[in-house]
Amino acid sequence: MSTASVSLDLDNLWAYLKTHGDPEWERRPSYLRTAVPRLLEVFGTHGLTTTVFVVGADAERDDGAQAVADITAAGHEVGNHSYHHEPWLHRYTRDRLEAELARTEDALVAAGAPRPTGFRGPGYSVTQDLLELLAERGYRYDASTLPTWIGPLARAYHNRTAPSGGERDLFGGFARVRAPNAAYRWRVGTGLVELPVTTMPLLRVPIHGSYLLQLHQLSPRLARAYFSAALRLCRARCVQPSLLLHPTDVLGAAEAPGLEFFPGMAVPGARKVEFLGWVLGALRDHHFDVIGTGAHVDRLDAGLREHDTGLLARCGG
């Protein structure tokens, strides 16, 4: 049986509003008390242990610290998702990046999680300085890359819908389509494993939760057919999928006020939960053993050591 992994970026309501340029973010609105129990219930129903990448600023607040404690108690890995959740880490200085990592580590440990060994940058933002710092601080893996060509299109949509104060430099360029779609080891002397957020092999279009829900909003049958096709291609191309989820994947519009612009928000929360259950079941129906990203890296690591500068999956994505 092949391996697949599921991870959750615990992005909070305020973080989306901040990136979008909505001044309401300064009140730090949160949906964690609603989203986290719902997500943990879905994972528990499916007997799934995942990885949850947590924002440091949230781990320091009461509802975020409780979320970290509950996630850890349920057996899920907790990863570092930066402190301020700013998808422009590529513009940070090295010192600022290090402070971002360290402050989040401290917040997660204080909330009851083990010190993180996995990182995902907000907005799929990663630089050589960041990779070197992760290695220096004892991280085993990064999961920040999204190998797709649609970054400029996503940026255009964001810029068209965001207020004038919204961040404009997001999501990378067309060149990302050339990035590997399977796990590899970075060639910058860090020894870090990179576990990309999987895109559909060959076509390189996203298959993670928010994109599936945008299709579901148009046609549930289309969303199911799209994801099933992606899983068949993953098996044919020897890609072990790493599926990304967000709290919005289980929340309706009324539970995330201000996020009407976000993909799939017209789908009611109950239907999202039902669809997420189908997605997790589909992974197993296609004969994938579903685990978290850290456990996925553990399984891959021996093979990556044998092919230190190349892909684990030789038949490509």
pLDDT attached to residue 305: 56
Give the other-Cβ count within 10 Å of 224's Cβ: 17
Average pLDDT of every residue of the chain = 90
pLDDT attached to residue 177: 75
Give start and end residues of each alpha helix (H) in 74-173. Answer: 94-110, 128-136, 151-161
Burial of 253 (0-12, 13-18, 19+ CB in 10 A): middle
d(CA 275, CA 278): 5
pLDDT attached to residue 304: 57
| Contact assessment for residue 100 and residue 122, using Cβ atoms and an 8 Å cutoff | no
| Contact assessment for residue 181 and residue 317, using Cβ atoms and an 8 Å cutoff | yes
Over residues 80-94, the mean pLDDT reads: 94
Over residues 8-19, the mean pLDDT reads: 96
**What predicted TM-score, i.e. pTM, was given to this entire model?**
0.92
Give the other-Cβ count within 10 Å of 40's Cβ: 19
Domain range summary for the chain, segments of one domain joined by + = 2-306
> What confidence tier does 178 reach under pLDDT thresholds 50, 70, 90?
confident
Over residues 225-238, the mean pLDDT reads: 97
Please give the share of the chain, as a percent, with pLDDT higher than 70: 86
d(CA 58, CA 41): 21
| Contact assessment for residue 287 and residue 167, using Cβ atoms and an 8 Å cutoff | no
pLDDT attached to residue 316: 43
d(CA 158, CA 297): 32
pLDDT at residue 109 greater than cutoff 80: yes
pLDDT at residue 20 greater than cutoff 70: yes
Could you report the per-residue pLDDT of 260-280, keeping only the tens digit for each? 989 999 999 999 999 999 999
For the ranges 78-82, 120-124, 189-193, the maximum mean pLDDT occurs at: 78-82
pLDDT at residue 158 greater than cutoff 50: no
pLDDT attached to residue 10: 98
Over residues 283-288, the mean pLDDT reads: 96
User: Tokens in use for 129?
Assistant: 């300085």
| Contact assessment for residue 50 and residue 4, using Cβ atoms and an 8 Å cutoff | no
If one looks up domain 2-306 in CATH, what number appears? 3.20.20.370
Over residues 207-225, the mean pLDDT reads: 96
